[in-house]
């Protein structure tokens, strides 16, 4: 030993030599503490219960999107896509849910308290709560980085228990996942909606058929313009006829005014001559009366009554003769007024034309009213046809939409019944063969290192306190026994 110490001092400087020299100086104490500490560590490692770890893996994918409960088409209403870490985190929370833990306790029997004295509901609930907490503490759930795989491990004292717990956990979790992501009643809802819209579609088709039968020449977009054109042509003809009627009405009024200023007949020849026969008669009568006066003058006195009477007749005859001599006799020949005749012919022609125009105007007026009525009916029919077409199209689209939704819901429920989800168990729980703890070799190596540390601390403590060998041995043993349980 002295030679070893000398060799060490020869090649190692004193500051580095101090701990080694201290150990060599107290080699017996160091060996005793090292041996006792290592033995205690070995005993603890050997008596620790063995634990077995089982592992299973889930693939959280988005290959099966959830059913979108919406009146819109699914291609226009895409469900929100979660991020992979968010989706995996959601599935971890489902794995930790109390419903899943309760089913695991029931399937594995971990929640049974057959031999317990206190079987009260409160005690049973407290026991199950403690078991659930213990179960959660031994479960390790973590996603594998840069993937959609979720790893779940569980440690138990027996490999069978670890495997059973994970299998029960997988079954309970997949059932809960189906319930959480399923849409119960969706197929019945969409089926009822599809049937309702099928009835509406049938009614719309029936109304369209009845409309076609009532309006065989239903208004189409290419039939509206000719009808309007015919109505415009009739209206133009009516306006023209009214203008002509007004013109001929003016002509008739002017014709009557002209006729009122024209004589029916006009003189063609006029012969003016004195009244010769009357003058001859009066002259002869005057000569006769003068002859008689001359004769009477010889017989009677001038103032005789007969003479005076005769003078008076002579005077009257002379006056009449003078009056007749101053007058002339006109001989006139007349004929029909040609201008009046032509005016009457023109008036008659205007009256005939006016009557015809009035009749034509009344007929065109009725045609315009008929065309307006037809256009109104066509417009109403076009509006009704458009409404029926819109209803038919809407009912057809809704029926096709909900029929598609119904098929999607049926497929979704069928997948749920077959337990086909977007979460799949890609690695079943394994039955471990080797325990994961304690690891004897590793634990003994760690125990040896700790024993070396305890032994060295004992030597340092002995040098610091300057204890006697017996006290030092007692202190070292005490410190060893004190450190071992804590480790």
Note the pLDDT of residue 93: 86
Note the pLDDT of residue 79: 42
Please state, in angstroms and rounded to a whole number, the distance separating the CA atoms of residues 303 and 326: 32
Note the pLDDT of residue 472: 43
Enclosing H/E stretch for 423: strand 423-427
Contact 16, 459 (CB under 8 A): no
Own/partner contacts of 478-484, CB < 8 Å, gap of 24 or more, are 479/33, 479/454, 480/33, 480/36, 480/37, 480/40, 480/454, 481/36, 481/40, 483/37, 483/450, 483/454, 484/36, 484/37, 484/40, 484/41, 484/44
**What is the value of pTM for the model shown?**
0.44
- The CA-based angle 206-211-214, given to 5 degrees, is 130
Enclosing H/E stretch for 332: strand 328-336
**Residue indicated by tokens 């394994």:** 430
Cis bond before residue 438 (omega within 30° of 0) = yes
Note the pLDDT of residue 417: 59
Note the pLDDT of residue 80: 42
Note the pLDDT of residue 14: 46
Q: Which of 34, 164, 153 is nearest to 437 (CA)?
A: 153
Note the pLDDT of residue 273: 58
Contact 204, 395 (CB under 8 A): yes
Nearest 5°: phi and psi at 86?
A: -65, -40
Note the pLDDT of residue 184: 67
Note the pLDDT of residue 147: 80
Contact 350, 251 (CB under 8 A): yes
Domain boundaries, the chain: 2-48+438-486, 52-181, 265-336
In tens digits, what is the pLDDT along the chain, a chain of 487 residues? 555 555 545 544 445 456 666 677 777 877 888 788 878 877 776 676 778 888 898 888 755 555 455 555 554 444 444 556 777 788 888 888 888 888 888 888 887 765 556 667 788 888 888 888 888 888 888 888 888 888 999 888 888 888 898 899 888 888 888 777 666 677 788 888 888 888 888 888 888 888 888 877 654 544 556 777 888 888 888 889 889 888 888 888 888 888 788 777 766 666 655 666 777 787 888 888 888 878 777 777 777 777 788 788 888 888 887 777 776 666 667 677 778 788 888 888 888 888 888 888 888 889 888 888 887 877 788 788 888 888 889 888 888 888 888 887 777 767 665 556 677 788 888 888 777 766 667 777 887 888 888 877 887 887 777 654 444 444 444 443 333 333 2
**Residue indicated by tokens 């809407």:** 394
């Amino acid at each position: 030993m002295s030679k070893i110490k000398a060799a060490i001092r020869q090649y190692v400087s004193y500051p580095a030599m101090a701990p080694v020299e201290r150990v060599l100086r107290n080699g017996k104490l160091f060996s005793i503490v090292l041996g006792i500490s290592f033995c205690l560590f070995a005993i603890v490692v050997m008596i620790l219960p063995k634990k077995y770890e089982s592992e299973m893996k889930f693939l959280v994918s988005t290959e099966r999107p959830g059913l979108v409960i919406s009146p819109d088409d699914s291609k226009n209403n895409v469900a929100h896509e979660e991020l992979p870490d968010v989706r995996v985190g959601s599935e971890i929370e489902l794995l930790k849910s109390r419903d899943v833990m309760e089913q695991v306790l029931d399937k594995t029997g971990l929640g049974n308290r057959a031999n317990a004295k206190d079987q009260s509901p409160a005690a049973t609930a407290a026991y199950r709560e403690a078991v659930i907490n213990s179960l959660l503490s031994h479960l390790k759930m973590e996603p594998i980085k840069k993937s959609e795989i979720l790893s779940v491990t569980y440690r138990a004292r027996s490999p069978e228990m670890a495997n059973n717990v994970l299998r029960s956990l997988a079954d309970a979790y997949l059932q809960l996942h189906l319930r959480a992501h399923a849409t119960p009643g969706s197929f019945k809802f969409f089926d009822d909606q599809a049937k309702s819209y099928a009835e509406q579609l049938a009614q719309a088709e029936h109304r369209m058929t009845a409309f076609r039968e009532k309006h065989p020449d239903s208004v189409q977009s290419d039939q509206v313009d000719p009808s309007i054109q015919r109505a415009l042509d009739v209206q133009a003809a009516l306006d023209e006829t009214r203008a002509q009627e007004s013109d001929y009405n003016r002509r008739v009024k002017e014709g009557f005014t002209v006729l009122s200023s024209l004589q029916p007949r006009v003189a063609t020849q006029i012969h003016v001559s004195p009244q010769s026969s009357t003058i001859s008669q009066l002259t002869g009568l005057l000569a006769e009366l003068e002859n008689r006066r001359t004769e009477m003058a010889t017989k009677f006195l001038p103032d005789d009554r007969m003479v005076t009477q005769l003078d008076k007749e002579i005077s009257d005859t002379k006056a009449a003769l003078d009056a007749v001599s101053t007058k002339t006799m006109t001989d006139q020949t007349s004929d029909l007024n040609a201008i009046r005749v032509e005016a009457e012919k023109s008036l008659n022609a205007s009256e005939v034309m006016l009557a015809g125009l009035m009749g034509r105007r009344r007929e065109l007026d009725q045609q315009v009213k008929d065309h307006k009525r037809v256009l109104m009916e066509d417009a109403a029919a076009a509006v009704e046809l458009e409404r029926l077409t819109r209803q038919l199209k809407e009912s057809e689209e809704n029926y096709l939409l909900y029929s598609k939704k119904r098929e999607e819901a049926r497929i979704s429920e069928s997948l749920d019944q077959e337990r086909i989800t977007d979460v799949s168990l890609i690695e079943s729980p394994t039955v471990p063969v080797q325990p994961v703890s304690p690891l004897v070799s590793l634990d003994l190596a760690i125990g040896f290192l700790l024993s070396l540390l305890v032994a060295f601390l004992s030597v340092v403590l002995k040098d610091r306190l300057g204890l006697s060998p017996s006290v030092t041995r007692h202190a070292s043993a005490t410190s060893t026994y004190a450190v071992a349980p804590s480790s």
